[in-house]
């Protein structure tokens, strides 16, 4: 049996009350695509409902702490100004909380299933209409990735499936945590043009197509 893990790291542009003064005057930056990934949480929530599996997502703007990065790259030009002790607390409250939730879920899934396929949901300011799927780990991840692309509307969507060569520190951490014969990743990156501009089609339309394609490919 195979189970599915869904995560969305840059789900929100929220700023904790204790850190709001730090971002005073930078509100427009925080709500831009530099502060979060518009549409990513909406897609991840719909997918989690369809697959009947929990969703684990980030809870603050990536300008405070970027959950995909490690070391000094976690911090933006704004949050890098914080004292080291404050940044250590942010790691505990947000990064470790995020990763611990994933570890707990993985532990339960691997007790009950032979394999886990991890769907990492992103949106990005890439070319209009582009959707990229990148796979790593077990061969099943590559198979599912290809099936998803085949099921998407090719006339309006520029979709592709390829091996994940440019892995984030978060992806490297996950791949290092779990056996290569039991764990696989599919990173799904959707152009923000769908969500922000309804180009080349409405967000609800492509979201439904994606969820249907993923659901069919994972059966």
Q: Give domain limits for the chain.
A: 2-217
Does the model's pTM come out above 0.95?
A: yes
Q: What is the dihedral of CA 118, 123, 128, 134, to 10 degrees?
A: -20
pLDDT of residue 154: 83
The C-alpha R_g of the chain, in whole angstroms, comes to 17
- Provide the H-helix boundaries in the chain: 27-31, 40-51, 84-90, 96-112, 139-151, 169-177, 193-197, 203-217
| Consecutive 10-residue averages of pLDDT for the chain (219 residues) | 96 96 96 98 98 97 98 97 96 98 97 97 97 98 97 92 97 96 98 97 97 95
What's the rounded Cα separation, in Å, for the pair 69 and 90? 14
Strand-strand pairing, 115-124 and 55-57: unpaired
pLDDT of residue 155: 86
pLDDT of residue 191: 98
CATH superfamily entry for domain 2-217: Zn-dependent exopeptidases (3.40.630.40)
pLDDT of residue 219: 87
pLDDT of residue 141: 98
């Amino acid at each position: 049996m195979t189970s599915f893990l869904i995560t969305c790291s840059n789900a929100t542009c929220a700023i904790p009350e204790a850190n709001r003064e730090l971002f005073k005057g930078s509100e427009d930056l925080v709500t831009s695509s530099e502060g979060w990934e518009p549409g990513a949480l909406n897609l991840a929530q719909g997918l989690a409902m369809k697959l009947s599996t929990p969703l684990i997502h980030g809870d603050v703007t990536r300008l405070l702490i970027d959950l995909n990065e490690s070391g000094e790259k976690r911090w933006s030009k704004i949050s890098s100004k914080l004292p080291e002790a404050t940044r250590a607390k942010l790691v505990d409250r947000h990064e470790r909380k995020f990763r611990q939730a994933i570890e707990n879920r993985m532990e339960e899934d691997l007790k009950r299933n032979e394999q886990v396929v991890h769907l990492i949901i992103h949106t990005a300011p890439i070319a209009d209409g582009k959707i990229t799927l990148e796979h790593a780990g077990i061969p099943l991840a590559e198979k599912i990735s290809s099936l998803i692309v085949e099921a998407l509307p090719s006339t309006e969507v520029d979709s592709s499936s390829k091996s994940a060569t440019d892995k984030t520190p978060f992806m490297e951490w996950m791949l290092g945590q779990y056996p290569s014969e039991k764990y696989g990743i599919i990173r799904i990156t959707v152009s923000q043009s769908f969500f922000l501009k309804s180009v080349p089609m409405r967000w609800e339309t492509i979201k439904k197509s994606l969820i249907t394609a993923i659901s069919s490919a994972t059966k």
